[in-house]
Amino acid sequence: MIQYNCTTLKKGIILKKMTENILHHFFDFNKLINATAFGNGHINDTYKIELKINNRIEIYLLQRLNHQVFSEPFLVMENIQQVADHLSKKKYQLKILSPILTLKKQLLYKDSGGNYWRVFNFIKNTIAVEKAETPEQAYEAAKAFGAFAKALDDIDISLLKTTIPGFHDGEKRMADFMLALKNAPSKKIAAAKKEIAGVLQQKAIFKHIAALKLPLRAIHHDTKINNLLFDKTTMKAAAVVDLDTVMPGIVLSDFGDMVRTFASTADEEERDFTKVEIRADIYGALTEGFLSEMGNLLTDAERRSLHEGGPWITLMQAVRFLSDYLKGDVYYKTKYPDHNLHRAGKQLALLRSMQQQTFSRR
């Protein structure tokens, strides 16, 4: 039997009351049966909701959209609605994460505290995983992200707005880094001497990718494996989720971020950089899975440069971590003083490993 203390009970009552008040703006329901925190996302607050509506139990996801990160919440939701509408008209095999409108036919509800709330359908019998354990799992995930990109190949990208300006703009990230370096305390510059040199040595990657002038597509921009749902029974990909950063971009963003997050032997928090290598078997599976869906749609320039996505995105992430360290850790949450510096070092180690592998130069 689970024992609850008074604090836990009080928090539960407050959570239920808060969500109940918000949900009345989305549903005409009989009873809120349960409301529990859901997932481990770092940006938005998510709750699994069980409602009794017309004597039926319905399950939804209620989420507070972080408007500190997404300064135009309605643009985010309009993009998601455009994507959901487009996918619903295609022969798209995966389940679609669809927003639920408020009773006033709005995509978001803004509460008295200025918080923005949204509701999605809950995709049952699915799980999320945090790491690609096998090449087979990596292939399945890459195939799913490829299918998502394929289904959006013919969407009018003028309908999709930029929700985070410069998100995967390497030259802008580099300019931000140089400004942070100029204004950083000398003590931080001295501590980051090796990492700063590593970034400056590699910065030509950004200019090279920009010069390719690859075509703009509808891009997910956050292709980590935990942004997929897998069927609990078959472990086949069931849905692509977390669509907040779907906006115009280049295909190297999605393929490159898969390589960065799937194929490393160490996680993002690893401090022993000798343990950081790129896994050739996972890389091969990602390439095969993604191209099985997108291969016939890529331009010659996209296909030739696909292998450059991993180094490009990995360097960009190193620059972002290092810039934040130099600014005083104002963006990423940190657990100790040099956390962002170590994160940047790990990304640079991963970049070097990519560049040493023959598959990254095909």
pLDDT per position as a tens digit, 135-156 = 999 999 999 999 999 999 999 9
Residue 30, pLDDT score:
87
> E strands along 91-162, which residues?
99-100, 109-110, 116-121, 126-127
CA distance 278 to 263: 6
Looking at per-residue pLDDT, the higher value among 266 and 322 belongs to: 322
- Bridge partners (DSSP) of residue 37 are 47
Residue identified by tokens 């292709």 is: 223
With a cut of 50, say whether residue 305 has pLDDT above it: yes
Per-residue confidence (pLDDT) for residue 137, from 0 to 100: 97
- Average pLDDT for residues 151-165, to the nearest whole number? 96
Identify the pLDDT of residue 8.
40
CA distances for 326 relative to 176, 177, 189, 311, 329, angstroms: 11, 9, 7, 22, 7
Mean pLDDT over 293-298 rounds to 98
pLDDT surpassing 60 at residue 9? no
Checking DSSP bridges between strand 228-231 and strand 237-240, what pairing results, if any? antiparallel
Q: DSSP label at 130?
A: S
Distances (CA, A) of 128 to 38, 123, 143, 227, 228: 12, 11, 16, 7, 6
Closest CA to 64 of 124, 112, 109, 14: 109
pLDDT at 42: 66
pTM of the complete model beyond 0.85: yes
Domains plus CATH for the chain?
6-122 (3.30.200.20), 135-361 (3.90.1200.10)
Question: For residue 200, what pLDDT band results from cuts at 50, 70 and 90?
Answer: very high
CA distance 298 to 116: 37
